[in-house]
Structure 1
Amino acid sequence: MEITRIRSGHGDPAAIEALLPELLAFDTLINRASGLGEDFDPNPEDLRHSLTSTSRYRSYLTWLGRLDGVIVAKGVAELQLTSNTDTAELWCGVHPDHRRHGLGSALLTVMEDDLAAEGRSALTSYCEIPESVRTADLRGAHLAAETGAGTLPAAAPEVSFLSRRGYGFAQIERCSVAPTATAAELDLDADDDYVIETWRGPVPEERLEHIALLKRRMSTDTPGAEKFGGEESWDGERVRALDAEKKARGEEMATALAILGGEPAGFTQVGHSAARPTVGWQGGTLVRKEHRGHRLGARLKVANHRSLAEHSAVERVYTWNAVENSWMLAINDQAGFATWAWVGLWTKDLR
């Protein structure tokens, strides 16, 4: 297998554009084989961004494995550039017709060697198992997450592959989906001093530092955060850069922010794009520890879903939560979310 590498922002633009249809076809094939459904098919702008973007905050590496000139395997790694510079989040996939021939292991070995050479020793990866696949194998052997909460079928190809390659099963997340209208119709108004603001698009100037603080706390205050890197550095400039990046990808964010006494208490965000206008993807949701116990998580999500229902074509929203995050799962259940898939989060230390 011939393996080539593409570092985001460093390839020939014309060559990248010519490559896109082939990559889109490969990624679509991988997704359809996973059973996750058409909503998870690749977005052309997201794919283009991972190959062409340049940023002071993060970059991407893509590996392509070919047999007789045809792509049969692909790997991607996301690299932070201003904090957690020893980490990398990676994923690799192999064409269904070419699995169980060692191609995935060969590609992952090259990826790990390349990342180690760049000083990236703390690796994370993930696998996605549809709910239908997990429930079909409840009596078979299951592998438990290191958190002690949640399991995945040990025989699932994605699970056995990462386990054999020395990755530890650190955590499991529940992926859920809800009709936008369900949460929008809930009435969770409360008699307290919290004010919830909503907006669509870029973060208003006066809220940049508030969102930066909440994103910084996202990297430390969510369940299992310590397993996936240290505190991330965020400021208003980085928030604005992320807004510009999302605009370039054709993505619009709907945000709800809770304020108390002029200070940020929590937020939630959902992204959606013109390429798939009826589907929303949950971004970050966080209520600061000192503000928990006021149902702010649920109130923020309801407010944001109301905004989406009124001002967008989004019909359903997907969200991800650690299974030990029982309070957020309860919020999602109340908001009408139903389990769609399970996501295993894996770690490996190359040192």
Structure 2
Amino acid sequence: MEITHIPAGSRSAADIDEVLAEVVDFATIINRASGLGTDFDPRSDEVRQELLSDDGYVTHQTWIGRLGGAIVATGIAYLTLRDNLDLADVWCSVHPELRGQGLGSELLAEMEASLAAQGRTQLTSYCEIPTATRDADLRGAHLAAESGAGSVTAAQPDVAFLSHHGFAFKQLERCSVAKTATAAKLSRVDLNAGYTIETWTGPTPEHRLEQIAFLHQKMSTDTPDAEELGEEESWDAARVRALDAKREENRELVATALALKGESAAGFTEVAHFDDRPRVGWQGSTLVVRDHRGHGLGAALKIANQQAVGESTQVERIYTWNAVENSWMLAINDRAGFATWAWVGLWKKRLA
């Protein structure tokens, strides 16, 4: 197999545009084979952006494997540039008709060698399993998450591949979906004294940059088992502005709900959608800071933001992800109308 390595920014826009359609078509084949549904098909704009450049905080590296000139395997690594400099989030895929022939192993070995040479010795990865696939083999062998909550079917190809290549199954997440029409009928949560919620759509207002930066930084420490997946990230107003700029370039519109106690940030939640896929929303970060939990803020934030999205956009359904041991957030999602759609396994490997 001929493998081409494309770090973001290493090729001209013309070079990227020559391979873009082929890469997107292959990624679409992989998603259709996964059973997750067309809502999860790749977006051409997003793939182009990842191939072409980074935002100064996160960069992407792509590997393309070919046989006879046709793409048969791809890999991608997400690398932070300001913190967790030994970490890489990796994922590789092989054409469904060519699996079991060692192509994935060959591609992963190439990726690991390159990343190790760059000092990226802590790898994280994931696998996605539709509910119907997992439920079809409930009596088969299962692999338990090291978090102590949840399991995945050991025979699932992604699970078997990651296990075989030395990745440890750290955590199971539940992917859920909710309809905005359902959220519109929900009652808003009465807040405890001293708490307020603000909502907006688009870039973060200047007077809220510091609060949003604080909450993004807390996302790397205050979520379940966060320490397993990297160290605390560093966020400031400039990084929030850079994230907003990247979203605008990607034609991504984000609705945000922010919980405050006085002027102190207590929690937030985000939902994104894209103008070329207007009926599908994607839950972004959601967090209630540890010191402010137990006041109903999670449900209040989710419901307020879902209703704002339903009122101001064409979004009909929103997907979200949560660790299965995060029972309080799952209960909030149930209250906000979410139902299980798929399962996601989170994995980690330390390179020698």
Task: With the length of structure 2 as denominator, give the TM-score of the two structures.
Answer: 0.99
Task: With the length of structure 1 as denominator, give the TM-score of the two structures.
Answer: 0.99
Name 1:315's counterpart in structure 2.
316
Name 2:251's counterpart in structure 1.
250
Identity %: 61
1:213-260 Cα deviation digits (max 9, x unpaired) = 000000001001000000000000000000000110110100000011
Number of residue-to-residue matches in the alignment: 351
Determine helix, strand or coil for the equivalent of 1:155.
Answer: coil
Name 1:103's counterpart in structure 2.
103
Letter in 2 for 1:200: T
Moved more, 200-209 or 14-23: 14-23
Matches within 5 A, 1:217-296: 217-296=218-297
Name 1:207's counterpart in structure 2.
208
Determine helix, strand or coil for the equivalent of 2:100.
Answer: coil
Name 1:154's counterpart in structure 2.
154
Q: Distance in 1 between matches of 2:151 and 2:129?
A: 11
Q: Distance in 2 between matches of 1:196 and 1:185?
A: 19
Letter in 2 for 1:267: F
Retained in 2: the 8 A contact 1:145–1:169?
yes
Q: Distance in 2 between matches of 1:190 and 1:235?
A: 28
Are 1:81 and 2:81 an aligned pair? yes
Letter in 2 for 1:167: F
Determine helix, strand or coil for the equivalent of 2:172.
Answer: strand
1:89-132 Cα deviation digits (max 9, x unpaired) = 00000001111000000000000000000000010000000000
Letter in 2 for 1:12: S
Shift of 1:65: 0.3
Q: Distance in 2 between matches of 1:299 and 1:184?
A: 13
Matches within 5 A, 1:154-173: 154-173=154-173
What runs of 5+ residues in structure 1 fail to find an aligned partner? none
Name 1:44's counterpart in structure 2.
44
Retained in 2: the 8 A contact 1:184–1:303?
no
Name 2:307's counterpart in structure 1.
306
Letter in 2 for 1:148: G
Name 2:35's counterpart in structure 1.
35
Shift of 1:57: 0.8
Q: Distance in 2 between matches of 1:189 and 1:19?
A: 52
Shift of 1:182: 1.6
Retained in 1: the 8 A contact 2:213–2:237?
yes
1:176-232 Cα deviation digits (max 9, x unpaired) = 000012223211223522110000000000000100000000000100100000000
RMSD value, Cα: 0.7
Retained in 1: the 8 A contact 2:12–2:52?
no
Q: Distance in 1 between matches of 2:94 and 2:314?
A: 34
Q: Distance in 2 between matches of 1:245 and 1:96?
A: 32
1:133-192 Cα deviation digits (max 9, x unpaired) = 000010100000001100000000000000000000000000000001222321122352
Shift of 1:45: 1.1
Letter in 2 for 1:229: G
Residues 191 and 347 (structure 1), Cα distance of their counterparts in 2 relative to 1, 3 Å cut: closer
Name 1:19's counterpart in structure 2.
19
Moved more, 180-189 or 113-122: 180-189
